[in-house]
Structure 1
Amino acid sequence: MGEGIRVPLIVPGTRPELAELEERISAERGRISLLYQVLLNSAPIASGWEQMLTAVRNQTSISAGLRELIILRVAVLNRASFEFEAHVPIAVRAGLDGGKIEAVTEKTVSQAFDPREKLALELTDAMTRDVTVPEHLFRRLKQEFDDKGIVELVATVAAYNMVSRFLVALNISH
């Protein structure tokens, strides 16, 4: 692409009115990443984003490994290399092996995944590529996941589509 990030970065500690929000982001995330330095251009968006993504990442019943597979797959499908690279170490910590991480980059869902993972990745592909979820896929999801699990899976896919599309649109790639 060659272009830089399309909006200015807000350097942590430079805007007193953002101090409380920056403290909350740092407490939850351990730092204020490049993504949040862009989001801080709008305090309400940064605040809501942090709350929503914290719920998706840390407060659902979805296993960390399954969550990270979904996040990596969304990043691949949306060509969000920054997101993919940021989540590989998290995926490894969640117990995903290199084979699954590599397989998530393939054009179609491979045999490297167990049935629940394949189902979640099929959902991810449908939502990300086509937006709609075919009825036959939804019936299979209902056989494997309860209503809470389905809501959490769908929210995870939707949230990380938001993340990756934000990153790509604003050229956050390093």
Structure 2
Amino acid sequence: MGTDHIRVPLVAPGTRAELGDIETRILKERGRISLLYQVLLNSAPIAAGWESMLTAVRHRTTVPAALREMIILRVAVLNEAAFEFDAHVPHALAAGLAAEKIEALKAAQPADLFSDEERLLLELTDRMTRDVKVPAPLMDQVNARYEAGTVVELVATVAAYNMVSRFLVALNISH
């Protein structure tokens, strides 16, 4: 399938002089200007803000990479964002998330092979993604387990990747 199904035009890297600085930042952080960023470059302020926020979430928090990638994959499943899921499987594997766990994230209720900590974060992810509101007892458990900064980072990870998946799905960005 080509890119003709995407609902806005792609911006080819190097075709708009005014995007040079943001393209340089994207290349520095990502190593390439992906299909997603070719869409985002339709708006320089959004592309720049997106790059800053998602780089902070993925590379500058205290959340262990395997937990972060588990959250991202679960959000992608819940929002039916196959492009996001497929893009993050290699990152999850590299972070040490077992292939069986990656597969289990596709289930309505992930299997018992997850640790207590992972199940807590999956419940947080599911509640934030499906219901938006997080029940007080669940947040009490999260706050009891993590310092405030980590709680903010975990919630920001779920929220940020809900934004990513919803953007991808709305604009029909897929393989």
- Normalising by structure 1, what TM-score? 0.97
Q: How does 1:105-144 map to 2 (within 5 A)?
A: 105-144=106-145
For structure 1, which runs of at least 5 residues remain unmatched after alignment?
none
- Normalising by structure 2, what TM-score? 0.97
CA contact (8 A) 1:64 1:94 kept: yes
Q: Which residue number in structure 2 is paired with residue 81 of structure 1?
A: 82
Q: CA-atom RMSD, angstroms?
A: 1.1
Q: Partners of 1:109 and 1:144 in 2: how far apart?
A: 21
Q: Partners of 2:47 and 2:128 in 1: how far apart?
A: 24
Report the count of equivalent residues: 173
CA contact (8 A) 1:109 1:122 kept: no
Matched, 1:33 2:34: yes
Q: How does 1:18-167 map to 2 (within 5 A)?
A: 18-167=19-168
CA displacement at 1:109 relative to structure 2 = 3.0
Amino-acid identity (%)? 65
CA displacement at 1:77 relative to structure 2 = 0.1
Q: Partners of 1:67 and 1:7 in 2: how far apart?
A: 29
Read off the aligned partner of 2:131 and give its amino acid letter. Answer: D
Read off the aligned partner of 1:50 and give its amino acid letter. Answer: E
CA contact (8 A) 1:25 1:31 kept: yes
Q: Which residue number in structure 1 is paired with residue 9 of structure 2?
A: 8
Read off the aligned partner of 1:26 and give its amino acid letter. Answer: L
